[in-house]
Chain A
Amino acid sequence: MNREVELVHALADGEVTPVEEAEAKRLVESDPKLRAEFEWAKALKSSMVANCKPIANDEAWKRCVGRLDDLDRVAKAESFVGKWAWVFCGALLLMIFAGGIVSRTVGSRTVSSTQIAGLLDPTGAGLVDAKRAAPEVKTADFVSLSGFTPTSRITGYLDNRPFVRFGLRDQLGLGGLAVVMIQGADRIEGLDQPTSHAVIRAGRLNEVNAVTWPVQGNTCILFGERPTDELVALAQDMMK
């Protein structure tokens, strides 16, 4: 029976195929109950339309318009950003590039502790570039080594800055000392603790005591297995 009833309702809704229409009309004409069903469906439809009206809600509609305005604003902003994205990206890259240049030119006078770790090796392995001509560093312009006995001398470049490293024995003939002069650097990262001397700073390089002091825009480092106070005193002897 379900099919017949559904067919009759579909007829009332005008939702039957031509083949179904003939069958549905025959059912409605021949069966009083299905005729009643057909009449009921039509009556209900018209009654619903007459009684169940659309419901106006101006406040809710205004809120909808507000949401649409928000969407438009976001879309405009996204469109603007999308249109100029390549400019923003270019500017950002330019800033990063410029920052790098500035960092290398302005901030390049600081030498990081990792860069000078290689200086602890008396052979200077890793610091000497065989393909590059050894720099000329005029030691005499920086320090006085009178009273010290050089035991080794290496030159090279530390982050493109010329340096010279001397292994030394002190006046008592005790070794284990080294002095390094680096051109174009005025600060050694990690060696910045004040000492009894105004310009000498102290610290440790790979567990070895070290002191540093500036000389005419360059930097000297003295390190060895000695107490810091003794290194400060030896540094003062070297200062010109």
Chain B
Amino acid sequence: MLFSRAKNSRDRFQSQAEAVYPSLFGTALRLTRDREEAEDLAQEAIVRAYEAFDRFDGENFKAWILRILTNLYINKYRRKKRVGHSVSLDDEESSYEPVGLAEELPDRQLLDEMLGAEIEEALLQVPEIFRVAVLLSDLEGMTYDEIALATEVPVGTVRSRIARGRAILRRELERYAREEGYLKQES
């Protein structure tokens, strides 16, 4: 009886986890930028989620497990790694200008010219705290509230990080586009 109930719980967890695993692993890879570490991080998140499955509210499994993964990354992997772009409070709070006039910079065209790998590469150049927010919002479709919970910062900070992260991502994409000849070099 006890084992049967446990088996049902395991089956329910496994079917949901398997469905979201590609997203989970993709996010882990985009966070860690290292395949082996990403596999470890995703696996650790799966294990933690399984252990806490009885406390899952049944609402949004993907958001819940991504929250676990992000928390793990912030509290464990990032602390261990200490590489990549570090961002000071000044950087985070610095002002940024809007991207410019639509006719000056053809956003759609720029993005349409880009391949997936190039966007991925540009994304990896975005400092981590901004990248996490942009990833969870734009790729995983998490709400600002869910991102705030996952990253343990206020919603206002999430809003700021997303805007800032997209600005940096745009700069990286433009730089790349100029290098590849998609856009004319600035004089």
From A35, A43, A49, A60, contact of B42 by CB (8 A):
A60
Q: Evaluate whether A15 and B18 lie within 8 angstroms (CB atoms) in the complex, with A49-B138, A67-B43 already known.
A: no
Interface segment, one of A6-14, A144-152, A179-187, A230-238: A6-14
The B119-149 residues at the A interface (CB cut-off 8 A) are 119-120, 123, 134, 137-139, 143-144
Cβ of A54: which chain B residues have Cβ within 8 Å of it? 22-23, 25-26
What is the predominant secondary structure among interface residues of chain A facing chain B? Answer: helix
**Closest-CB distance, A52 to chain B (whole angstroms):** 6
Q: Evaluate whether A37 and B98 lie within 8 angstroms (CB atoms) in the complex, with A5-B163, A55-B25, A72-B10 already known.
A: yes
**Closest-CB distance, A54 to chain B (whole angstroms):** 3
Number of A-B contacts (CB under 8 A): 150
Instruction: Please count how many residues in chain B sit with their CB below 8 Å of the partner chain's CB atoms.
Output: 55
Interface segment, one of B44-52, B73-81, B176-184: B44-52
**Closest-CB distance, A85 to chain B (whole angstroms):** 15
The B70-101 residues at the A interface (CB cut-off 8 A) are 95-101
CA A68 – CA B107 in complex, angstroms? 45
- Asked if A76 lies at the interface with its beta carbon under 8 angstroms from chain B, I say yes
From A33, A36, A52, A63, contact of B116 by CB (8 A):
A52
Cβ of B50: which chain A residues have Cβ within 8 Å of it? 68, 71
- Asked if B105 lies at the interface with its beta carbon under 8 angstroms from chain A, I say yes
- Asked if B114 lies at the interface with its beta carbon under 8 angstroms from chain A, I say yes
The answer to whether B29 and A55 have CB atoms under 8 Å apart is yes
- Asked if B159 lies at the interface with its beta carbon under 8 angstroms from chain A, I say yes
The answer to whether B21 and A52 have CB atoms under 8 Å apart is no
**Closest-CB distance, B31 to chain A (whole angstroms):** 12
The answer to whether B21 and A64 have CB atoms under 8 Å apart is yes
From B22, B98, B162, B170, contact of A55 by CB (8 A):
B22
The B36-65 residues at the A interface (CB cut-off 8 A) are 39, 42-43, 46-47, 50-51
Measured CB to CB, the nearest residue on chain A to B42 is A60
The answer to whether B6 and A72 have CB atoms under 8 Å apart is yes
Q: Evaluate whether A36 and B96 lie within 8 angstroms (CB atoms) in the complex, with A44-B138, A71-B47 already known.
A: no
The answer to whether A15 and B98 have CB atoms under 8 Å apart is no
Beyond the given pairs A13-B137, A45-B137, 15 more chain A to chain B contacts, judged by CB atoms under 8 angstroms and listed by A's residue number, are A2-B96, A6-B163, A10-B159, A10-B163, A36-B101, A40-B166, A40-B170, A44-B111, A47-B119, A53-B22, A54-B22, A56-B25, A60-B25, A64-B42, A68-B46
Chain B interface (Cβ < 8 Å from any Cβ of A) = 2-3, 6, 10, 13-14, 17-18, 21-23, 25-26, 29-30, 39, 42-43, 46-47, 50-51, 95-102, 105, 107-108, 111-112, 114-116, 119-120, 123, 134, 137-139, 143-144, 159-160, 162-163, 166-167, 169-170
